[in-house]
């Protein structure tokens, strides 16, 4: 097996508040190979975006603080780089696209200018060449009549088009890893499927590793090779997409998957619901973080913290019950 | 056929667009452009479609929060669209709405008790003590603790706030509730709680729902009857099993195919939805300048020259009992 491009080891990130640290990311380890898509799934506040921002060292500090851990890009620890070196990594070796393409683009510059700017930052080319490359990139992300659209301002484009521009900017420097944080959440389904297709196609062409952050298991099923499910700052289960969706073992994963309405369910199917709400990460539960909401929790679950343990076949699960299989 | 609580016929809502020196009308946004459907008493009618298709405007126009441009709305056997202001005020107590965003639809300065009892106060129903008792009962019905009454919205999570919104909608004992994307701002594990609650309340109080959402699986789960909207038109209506099982409109077909991950969820033996269609290209056109003829023709893989003829809307066909489609060349 190839050496993974991006490796995150035991990452711990806190948000410091007056009432104490919020344990947003609490010992997350993951690895992304070239050409592979790893989906990081979870509900809001589970720490999936904080993980991505920590990898990019974009956690606003203060209040954010990367407490410990390592982020290795081809063996180089990004957490030890100087800020100027890190700037070369961002948008260079690792690119990121965000949920809301309107707020991520500058409204007062044309999209062609913004894509060219991304090229100029990472490549020694003339402005004219950068403009030309920008048009090529816009073409590559499926924007029709790219030379004309390059002169458009972001507000003249639809949401799907803007997300294509964001992707063009992210690809400007041929990144090794693309981090996509809910890239289609703001888009309609028909546009969403176009963007997902585009990401998949470009990933194959460029042999990128993709870390896809989402809350939607449908998207996971569609594009991910492997999945890591996060709950309350920790990865609770990890495995290949097919195996994990077919046979989820952690009670949280199982609950989450069965609470989503499926297209093939007949009308009126009662949905499984996980009672309660996610814990407050200022003061997380002492034992298993899911124990207060878990239907299968035993006494030891409330006292001992489970570790993420391998169960074979590249699967890992964090459950004292061993993750009973259905 | 059971009795219809709500009959909507050829409902239109157009907005003038003004511009120029004298703010003349320079165009019309045809947000809702002639939709017709019935909602059975005690049942749920689902409205699905992408953003900007007019599903929310349709809901607001049915409640006459927006005055309809034309068309008729019959509610409980009476002509709701012709009512004068005072009659309308009284009739509206039978219809309530649940909104998408439980953060902006609750007044942050009011206690939960005040929010839930507001409709009772507006309509002068009951004494203060009776209103208080009603709030206590409603909190219990939606699964909130009694002490929630004296607290403020910010003290609650999104799911709990949506429960407050539901309690407020129930305060007037309405017959019809329009739920506009009631769970789309909530987390996955919370959504199921709210959906199951809505279903329980429907059984308990015999409520009729119009359930609006962009998530097809969600609409199917909640609604025996559904309508698919595109650019202000209802392109397909019918029993949800039918519409999803054998979609007749190319748009419905493409919409179903675009639902991510449907392939992995289902095993072939329990496949009840249609085979995937080719993905749609392009964007939804602007409702300010809708394409002539069939509004879907620029994106339609089946479009023929007569679909593009100005002034010729697509033919409406009943492909199966109760399953209607507005398309010249429906999918067999």
User: Residue B266: its pLDDT value, please?
Assistant: 43
Q: How far is CA B190 from CA A249, A255, B160, B259, in A?
A: 20, 11, 9, 21
Nearest to B220 among A217, A218, A267 (CB): A267
Separation in Å, CA of A317 to nearest CA in chain B: 19
- Rounded CA-CA distance B198/A276 in Å is 17
Q: How confident is the model at residue A40 (pLDDT cuts 50, 70, 90)?
A: very high
Q: For A197, which residue in chain B has the nearest alpha carbon? A: B279
User: Residue A1: its pLDDT value, please?
Assistant: 52
User: Residue A2: its pLDDT value, please?
Assistant: 66
Q: Is B127 exposed, middle or buried (0-12, 13-18, 19+ CB in 10 A)?
A: exposed
A158/B283 CB distance under 8 A: yes
Euclidean distance between the first and the last CA atom of chain B, given in angstroms as a whole number: 26
Q: Are A263 and B217 in contact (CB under 8 A)?
A: yes
pLDDT digits (tens, 9 = 90+) for B123-142: 888 899 999 999 999 999 99
Q: How far is CA A279 from CA A29, A184, A229, A289, A307, in A?
A: 21, 27, 16, 7, 18
pLDDT digits (tens, 9 = 90+) for A207-264: 999 999 999 888 898 889 999 999 999 999 999 998 898 889 999 999 998 888 888 8
What is the separation of C-alpha A92 from the centre of its chain, rounded to a whole number of angstroms? Answer: 18
Cis peptide before A62, with omega less than 30 degrees from 0? yes
Q: For A247, which residue in chain B has the nearest alpha carbon? A: B265
- Rounded CA-CA distance A122/A170 in Å is 11
Report the percentage of chain A scoring pLDDT > 90. Answer: 39
| Rounded average pLDDT over A284-295 | 89
Question: What DSSP line would sit under A227-283, residue for residue?
Answer: EEEEETTEEEEEEEHHHHHHS--SHHHHHHHHTS--TTSPTTPPPP---S-PPPTTS
Q: Beta B225-230 vs B44-48: how paired, if at all?
A: parallel
Tokens read off for A85: 């070196």
Q: Rounded to the nearest 5 degrees, what angle is found at the Cα of A265, between the Cα atoms of A263 and A271?
A: 105
Chain B residues within 8 A of A277 when measuring between CB atoms: 157, 159, 190
User: Residue B23: its pLDDT value, please?
Assistant: 76
- Rounded CA-CA distance A234/A13 in Å is 11
> Chain B interface, mutation test: which of A160, A183, A189, A247, most B Cβ atoms within 10 Å?
A189
Q: Are A36 and A225 in contact (CB under 8 A)?
A: yes
| Rounded average pLDDT over A141-158 | 88
Window from A10-14, A72-76, A159-163 with minimum mean pLDDT: A159-163
pTM of the model: 0.85
Nearest to A256 among B189, B222, B283 (CB): B189
Report the percentage of chain B scoring pLDDT > 70. Answer: 94
Q: At what angle do helices B188-205 and A251-258 cross, to 10 degrees?
A: 50
Separation in Å, CA of B190 to nearest CA in chain A: 7
- Rounded CA-CA distance A98/B3 in Å is 49
Question: What DSSP line would sit under B99-112, residue for residue?
Answer: -S-TTTSS-TTS-H
Mean pLDDT by 10 residues, chain B (332 residues): 86 86 80 92 93 89 92 91 88 89 87 93 90 94 92 89 93 94 87 92 95 91 94 94 92 86 47 53 80 89 88 89 92 82
Q: Which residue has the tokens 């993750």?
A: A323
Torsion over CA: B316, B319, B325, B328 (sign):
negative
B280/A190 CB distance under 8 A: yes
What is the separation of C-alpha A47 from the centre of its chain, rounded to a whole number of angstroms? Answer: 10
> Chain A interface, mutation test: which of B161, B188, B194, most A Cβ atoms within 10 Å?
B188
User: Residue B1: its pLDDT value, please?
Assistant: 53
Q: Examine the pLDDT at A117 and tell me if it is beyond 70.
A: yes
Q: Which residue has the tokens 């050829």?
A: B10
Q: How confident is the model at residue A105 (pLDDT cuts 50, 70, 90)?
A: confident
User: Residue B200: its pLDDT value, please?
Assistant: 94
**Domains of chain B in sequence order:** 1-27+42-223 (3.40.50.300), 233-332 (no CATH)
Of all helices (H) and strands (E), which one includes residue A4?
A: none
Separation in Å, CA of B83 to nearest CA in chain A: 35
Torsion over CA: A154, A157, A163, A166 (sign):
negative
Q: Is A28 exposed, middle or buried (0-12, 13-18, 19+ CB in 10 A)?
A: buried
């Amino acid at each position: 097996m190839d050496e993974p491009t991006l490796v995150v080891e035991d990452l711990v990130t806190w948000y410091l508040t007056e009432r104490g640290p919020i344990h947003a990311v609490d010992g997350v380890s993951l690895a992304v190979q070239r050409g592979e898509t790893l989906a990081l799934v979870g509900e809001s506040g589970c720490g999936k975006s904080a993980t991505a921002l920590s990898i990019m060292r974009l956690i606003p500090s203060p209040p954010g603080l990367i407490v410990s851990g390592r982020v290795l890009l081809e063996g180089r620890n990004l957490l030890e780089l100087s800020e100027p070196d890190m700037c070369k990594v961002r948008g260079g070796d690792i690119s990121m696209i965000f949920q809301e393409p309107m707020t991520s683009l500058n409204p007062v510059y044309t999209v062609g200018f913004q894509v060219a700017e991304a090229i100029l930052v990472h490549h020694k080319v003339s402005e004219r060449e950068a403009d030309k490359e920008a048009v090529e990139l816009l073409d590559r992300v499926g924007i029709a009549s790219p030379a004309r659209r390059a002169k458009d301002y972001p507000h003249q484009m639809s949401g799907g088009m803007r997300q294509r521009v964001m992707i063009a900017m992210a690809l400007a420097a041929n990144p090794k890893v693309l981090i996509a944080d809910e890239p289609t959440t703001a888009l309609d389904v028909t546009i969403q499927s176009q963007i997902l297709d585009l990401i998949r196609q470009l990933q194959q062409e460029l042999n990128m590793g993709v870390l896809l952050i989402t809350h939607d298991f449908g998207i996971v099923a569609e594009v991910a090779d492997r999945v890591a499910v996060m709950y309350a700052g920790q990865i609770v289960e990890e495995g290949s997409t097919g195996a994990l969706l077919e046979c989820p073992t952690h009670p949280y994963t199982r609950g989450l998957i069965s609470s989503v309405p499926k297209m093939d369910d007949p009308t009126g199917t009662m949905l499984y619901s996980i009672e309660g709400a996610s814990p407050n990460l200022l003061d997380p539960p002492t034992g298993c973080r899911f124990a207060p909401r878990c239907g299968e929790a035993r006494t030891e679950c409330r006292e001992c913290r489970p570790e993420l343990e391998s169960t074979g076949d590249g699967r890992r699960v964090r459950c004292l019950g061993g993750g009973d299989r259905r | 056929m059971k009795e219809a609580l709500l009959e909507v016929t050829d409902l239109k809502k157009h907005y003038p667009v003004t511009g120029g020196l004298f703010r003349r009308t320079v165009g019309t946004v045809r947000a809702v452009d002639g939709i017709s459907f019935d909602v059975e008493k005690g049942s749920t009618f689902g409205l699905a479609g992408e953003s900007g298709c007019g599903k929310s405007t349709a809901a607001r126009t049915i409640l006459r929060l927006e005055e309809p441009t034309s068309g008729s709305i019959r509610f409980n056997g009476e002509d709701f669209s012709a009512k004068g202001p005072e009659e309308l005020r009284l009739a509206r107590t039978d219809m309530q709405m649940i909104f998408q965003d439980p953060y902006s639809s609750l007044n942050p300065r009011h206690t939960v008790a005040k929010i839930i009892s507001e409709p009772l106060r507006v309509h002068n129903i009951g004494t203060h003590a009776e209103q208080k008792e009603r709030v206590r009962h409603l909190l219990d019905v939606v699964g909130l603790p009694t002490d929630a009454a004296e607290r403020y919205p910010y003290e609650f999570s999104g799911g709990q706030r949506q429960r407050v919104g539901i309690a407020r909608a129930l305060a007037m004992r309405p017959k019809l509730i329009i739920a506009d994307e009631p769970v789309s701002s909530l987390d996955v594990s919370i959504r199921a709680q709210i959906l199951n609650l809505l279903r329980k309340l429907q059984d308990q109080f015999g409520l009729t729902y119009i359930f609006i959402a962009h998530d097809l699986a969600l609409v199917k789960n909640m609604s025996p009857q559904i309508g698919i909207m595109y650019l202000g038109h209802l392109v397909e209506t019918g029993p949800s099993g039918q519409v999803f099982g054998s979609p007749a409109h190319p748009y419905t077909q493409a919409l179903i195919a675009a639902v991510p991950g449907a392939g992995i969820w289902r095993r072939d033996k329990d496949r009840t939805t249609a085979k995937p269609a080719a993905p749609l290209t392009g964007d939804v056109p602007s409702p300010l300048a809708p394409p002539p003829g069939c509004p879907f023709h620029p994106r339609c893989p089946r479009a023929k020259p007569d679909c593009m003829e100005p002034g010729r809307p697509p033919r409406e066909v009943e492909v199966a009992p109760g399953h209607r489609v507005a398309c010249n060349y429906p999918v067999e």
